Amino acid sequence: MSDLGATLWFTGLSGAGKSTIAQIVESELRERGYKVEVLDGDVVRTNLSKGLGFSKEDRDTNIRRIAFVADLLSRNGVVAITAAISPYREIRDEARALMGARFIEIHVKASVEECARRDVKGLYEKAMRGEIKEFTGVSDPYEEPLNPELVLDTEAESPEESAAKVLAVLDSRVKIAA
Amino acid sequence: MSDLGATLWFTGLSGAGKSTIAQIVESELRERGYKVEVLDGDVVRTNLSKGLGFSKEDRDTNIRRIAFVADLLSRNGVVAITAAISPYREIRDEARALMGARFIEIHVKASVEECARRDVKGLYEKAMRGEIKEFTGVSDPYEEPLNPELVLDTEAESPEESAAKVLAVLDSRVKIAA
């Protein structure tokens, strides 16, 4: 049990594994007595950003709202887990500036080819046929983090292995604070 | 110090005293070691609802977003204080349904005439001249709560007296839970 709030900011392509890893981390943290909230892309688009599209401006607004809420939660002792693509470096850096040491950026990394091969939601096929405009990695940019706290190579490691790395980063933070 | 989250949902006309009382309550609660966040109308319109106007639909969306965030906070042990006009009963009742016993509805009550006389932000004068459309209490409806947990008559009592009543309600909740 820890009262040390943090934001685990997962970023990466659709299908890279953000939500899967976030769910494992969430359940592990709950078991350990942490307060946890997952703000994934779908939850947020429904509750905070209905009406926004996928233009750069709308994506930025969406990500800023996620950061606003993650900040409110993490400064009150909650571990906020965000799992939106958040493709633009500048807006992620804004979130980092807002939250300071509470912000833990986690690059969930897999190539576009691998994500398209997995194609969990069938979105890459549609995007490649041109049926979805502004699809990150296909017809819209993804700017990789330059100095993330953690990189998870989901082509080489299992979701459980990735989640263990995230938990290790959180644990080391708690130890430093103790 | 209490870890019992709650949402103090202030509702009432512009100028009735919501923000003033909310600020006193916030500072008292902080002194007592509570975790507190104030979501007032302006903060939320900047960070969650930029682009929304004051039609019924946009107001409802704005209030639903406030409720979503207040729920996230209060279920994690924070006292969330909301101080938006929130004129429609149906949407406040949605918020109540979402948060259950954590939801404490506080009607900050003053007549339109009194609020217009105070006219802290000069808005009533503009609204009465027709320069602001859809102004609650003048050209837009305000639906009073039917069964609020608390009514604060700000024509009869000082902000400090009102704040003391709010704190008493919170205290009694903590005692019941203990």
Span B79-105, pLDDT tens digits: 999 999 999 999 999 999 999 999 999
The answer to whether the complex's ipTM is over 0.95 is no
Q: Do A72 and B73 touch (CB under 8 A)?
A: yes
Q: Do B77 and A35 touch (CB under 8 A)?
A: yes
pLDDT, residue A1, reads 42
Q: Distance between CA atoms of B27 and B31, rounded to whole angstroms? A: 6
Span A11-38, pLDDT tens digits: 999 999 999 999 999 999 999 999 999 9
DSSP B51-87: T--SSHHHHHHHHHHHHHHHHHHHTTT-EEEEE----
Residue in A35, A48, A73 nearest the CB of B68: A48
Residues 6+ apart with CB under 8 A from B162: B17, B21, B24, B108, B152, B154
How close A93 comes to chain B (CA, Å)?
17
Q: What is the mean pLDDT of residues A92-96?
A: 97
pTM of whole model > 0.90? yes
B86 is catalytic: yes
Closest by alpha carbon to B47, among A41, A46, A67, A97? A67
pLDDT, residue B53, reads 87
| Active-site residue, from B14, B19, B86, B162 | B86
Exposure pattern of A67-102 as b/e (b: 16+ CB <10 Å)? bbbbbbbbbbbbbbbbbbbbbbeebbeebbebbeeb
How close B46 comes to chain A (CA, Å)?
10
Answer yes or no: is pLDDT of B174 > 90. no
Q: How confident is the model at residue A116 (pLDDT cuts 50, 70, 90)?
A: very high
Beta strand residue intervals within chain A, DSSP E: 6-11, 36-40, 79-83, 103-109, 150-153
Domains of chain A with CATH codes:
6-177 (3.40.50.300)
pLDDT, residue B175, reads 67
